[in-house]
Amino acid sequence: MKALLKDQVIAEAAKDELIYIEGNWYFPPASAMLDLLEKSPTAYTCPWKGACQYWNVDDIKDAAWSYDSPIQSGIDRVGKDFTGYLAFDKSHIELSE
């Protein structure tokens, strides 16, 4: 699966390497082109996943997010450790298989 901004690949991984949480595909950290991402100062804490790190992609504010230290009960709920996995705002980033 690929995450694309315009025609540029932002992340790419086999679908079985991704984690699906609440309607969003989360890509493994190693699959992302980190040089295309910039940490955002936007703060948010999910009550069951923990503190969220937003990322700007190109000039799009908060177009991606990850959880660098998810709450253990959140990991248990998902059934996999999603530390550092990246999800993308589908209104800006196209996902394709």
The per-residue pLDDT for range 24-61, each reduced to its tens digit, is 999 999 999 999 999 999 999 999 999 999 999 988 99
Owning domain of residue 65: 2-96
pLDDT for the residue numbered 54: 98
Return the higher-pLDDT residue of 24 and 97: 24
Could you give the number of structural domains in the chain? 1
CATH of the domain at 72: 2.170.150.40
Between the alpha carbon of residue 4 and those of residues 37, 70, 74, the distances in Å are: 13, 26, 28
Helices (H), 1-95: 72-78
For residue 27, the 8-state DSSP code is: B
Q: Which phi and psi (to 5°) does residue 88 adopt? A: -125, 145
Helices (H), 45-96: 72-78
